[in-house]
Structures are given as C-alpha cells and as structure tokens.
Amino acid sequence: MFLSVFEIFKIGIGPSSSHTMGPMTAAARFLDELRDGRRIWPGAGAPKKLRCTLHGSLAWTGKGHATDRAVILGLAGCTPETLDPDEAEALEKKVALEKKVTLSGLPELEFDPATDVIFDFETNLPGHANGMIIEAYDAQDRLHLQETFYSIGGGFVLTADELERLKTAEASGQSDEAELKSTPYPFATAKEMLEMGQNSGKTIAQMKRANEVTSLDPQQLDEKLWKIWGVMDACMERGLNTEGELPGGLSVKRRAAAIKKQLEDERGNNMSMPHVANDWLSVYAMAVNEENAAGGKVVTAPTNGAAGVIPATIKYYREHCPGSNDEGIKTFLLTAAAVGGIIKHNASISGAEVGCQGEVGSAAAMAAAGLCAALGGTNEQIENAAEIALEHHLGMTCDPVGGLVQVPCIERNGLGAIKAVSAASLALRGDGSHYMPLDNCVEAMRQTGAEMSDKYKETSKGGLAVNLPEC
C-alpha cells in the first residue's frame, strides 16, 4: 500500500478538506471531463447549463462548511491549491451576480448559485456519506454530462466508478499486487511496516523516503516537504497574529493571538506553571484551526478539521525540544504520513464516515509517531506512540455546532496535540513492546465508526451540535 506524503498532506483552503476542498476538486474535475468531451450523453447538444446536488453530510453541514461556496469557486475554475483566499469572495459575488461562468476551453455556461446548488437532505448516495452529483445540460435542457463524486476525507475525491473499482481491487488483492511492483516497501499495515524495517534495517522515515523517490528525485522530495512545512508554519503565524471574530454566525472570537501574548509576557517569570508547554501546544494548534475556520490557506493533516495537531507538534519539537533540527522536521513528516496512510487504508480519516476519531484521532496518532521519530525513537517505539494516541481518541464523535469547524473543533486540535506529545513521551520511556498493536486499534476505530450513529458523524444532528446555550 502506498499513499504519497503529498496525498496525505495537501495544500488547500479551509474550513474543511472533505466539505470544502473535496467538492471544489470535484467541480474542477467535472470541468475537465466537459472539456474532454468523450462521455457526452447520446443526442445531447453543446453544454449550456451547470447544476450540482449535494447529498448526505455534504447537504446537512454544507452551509457551515462552505460547501456551496466551494462548488461555486470550483465551477468558476478554481482549485484548492491555487485559490487565493483573499480573491475568493469577489469571484463568488461575480458568479452570483452574472449567473454564469466563463472558462477556458468551454462555451459560456449558465450557473445560478441560488438555484443550481441544491441541498438534498433526503437522499443518501450509496458510496459514501459525502456524495454529490454534478450535471451539465444543453440549451434544450437535455442532459449533456453527469458525474457522481464522493469526497472521502482529507481532500480525496473519487467518482462512483473509481470508488467501485477501488473496492473491487482491494477485495481481490489486486491493489496490493500492483503496489508490490511499484514501491520497495509496500506496507499496508503497521505489522508489515515493522517487519520490513527489521528486515531492511531502515527506519520508517527511510522506507517512506525510498517509496517516494520512485516518482520524485531526492531534491524534489526535500523541496516539497519543506514547502508543506512552510505553508503549515505560515498558517500558524497568521493565526497567532490575527484577532477578531470568526465568520459563520456563532460569534466565536479568535483567541490564539491573545493567548500567545500572555505566554510571551510570562517568559522569564519564575512563577510560570510547569504545564506552560501544554499552553504553547494548544495555542499553536488553535492558531491553525482559527485560520482554517476563517477559510485561510492550510494543509490537510490529514484533514482540515484536524489541521492544527501536526503543525503544533512540529512547532513544539522545533521551538521547545533541545537538539531539534530541520532534518527532524522531514523525518517527522515522512513518518507521520506513513502512519496516516495505514489508517486511511484500513479504516478512515473522514469525520462523516467514522466521527472525529478519524480526524483528530488520526492526526494525533500521526503526530505522536512523527515526534517520536524526530526524537530518535525506534520503529517499535514509533508504532507504540501512534497506538497510544489513537487508542485514547476512540469513540470521539464529530458534532460541529452549526455545521461550522469551530466548536468544539478548534480546542479539540489543541488537546489532540497535547495527547500526541504525551503519547510520544510515554513510548520513548519504553522499549516499544506493548499489549495492543496499532493495527488492532485502527480496526477498533473502523468498527466503532461503522456502528456510530449518523447523528455523531458530521451531520450536526446530535451531541454538542444540538445542546446549545439558551441565551
């Protein structure tokens, strides 16, 4: 099994990887299919109109997650990685005013966001909780092209056909056979990862690097890794230095900048509490997720809702751990991506599929593994760190108030980072041997998510989302 580090860590925009980045990517892919022109419905004329219908969790929490906005921007030609958040509002207003999109390689297309982005609260599509159908019609209202997309978490998007082929390949083992031919260390489980490490004498980061350089030269890999960290760090800095109120109607105030100032003022004070490191971890993570909630540029890690855990833990490593260095950051990212790939392959990183255990829980496991590796942990200690962090997020629900990635998501990232550091520290105190393997913990998460009520899986129909202050 091989998922590139750059599939786990994607540069994009907030507030949600599955509800914002995924739908925007799907819209851009649909435009590419329109340009390609090979799947036109028989008898259809040239495309004239566009329509998108959102289903399942994309419908229930789409407004709060800016899914409709993402579709509008995607059908206007934007992609998550290239979109300038500062220009998005003006472009969205332009489309709403003109009720059309003008795109390279296509005729002018009618598209009125007020009527052509439809929230279907009744129909759940069969492939995944985050489903959407995009259609193009000709001037006589005949269907020109239709595609069903699933946003499966972390910004990953599959068509219905691609999802079906993936499930078939995984069930038959064909995907594993292909991986055996394409990468030197095709581990699909933590057990395989540890066995390959023992047989090769390589660390997890070294095996992940060897897999990556089958498609990138080493210099490109390092440059792209450093770009990922650069975007994470820049996002954190914006959050640490921006005040005000977050959009969405909950009147949630940004707190990271004020907390950072308090912590800086207390430096050198002999009365500082010993747990002040936890406050730094929390404020680093909260800064990222406040930026995410505001629609800023972020990196999926592995999702937007959990985007603060890994950057906060890296910042903690670099700023607070003696002996830290830039090489350790690359080791951190490669190791974290290896663990994230295992979790995604065997369970899910989608809050709409398994709850927040799949988002913040996965991020904490990845961060714990990355920190343990950067601090010199063995492969066995790294696997133990990931398991400890994930184990203590099992059963965590995804119940965003108002469908917004704000309450409880922002603080939850801070606590996820604290758990990650604690898990790495505990693992480093041992020799890597422990009772519950990471693979079993991942399977427990998958089973728990499958049995969890949909009310607690990013629909905002249960939990904190329906227990609101009365005044």
pLDDT at 178: 55
- Residue 249, Cβ density class (10 Å: 0-12 exposed, 13-18 middle, ≥19 buried): exposed
Mark whether 280 and 134 lie in a shared domain: no
pLDDT of residue 356: 98
> Which residue, 108, 125, 160, sits at the end of a domain?
160
Whether residues 231 and 154 fall in one domain: no
- The closest alpha carbon to 11, from 79, 65, 78, belongs to 79
Asked, for residue 4, whether it belongs to a domain, the answer is no
Q: Which of 8, 140, 130 is nearest to 65 (CA)?
A: 130
Are 353 and 237 found together in one domain?
A: yes
3-state SS of 209-220 is HHHHCCCCCHHH
Burial of residue 122 (number of CB atoms within 10 Å: 0-12, 13-18, 19+): exposed
Which H or E element spans position 136? strand 130-137
Nearest CA to 400 among 461, 312, 319, 444?
461
| Beta pairing, strands 49-56 & 117-120 | parallel
Q: Which residues of 407-432 are buried (b: 16+ CB within 10 A; e: fewer)?
A: bbbbbbbbbbbbbbbbbbebbbeeeb
What pLDDT is attached to residue 208? Answer: 98
What residue numbers bound the domain in which 64 lies?
17-160
Overall domain count for the chain: 2
Question: Based on the domain organization, do 148 and 200 belong to the same domain?
Answer: no
Cα separation, 270 vs 284, whole angstroms? 23
CATH number at residue 94: 3.30.1330.90
Q: How far apart are CA 319 and CA 338, in angstroms?
A: 24
Mean pLDDT by 10 residues, the chain (471 residues): 93 94 97 95 96 96 94 96 88 97 96 98 95 98 98 95 91 61 92 98 98 96 98 98 96 98 88 91 98 96 97 98 97 98 97 97 98 98 98 98 96 98 98 98 98 96 92 57
pLDDT at 269: 80
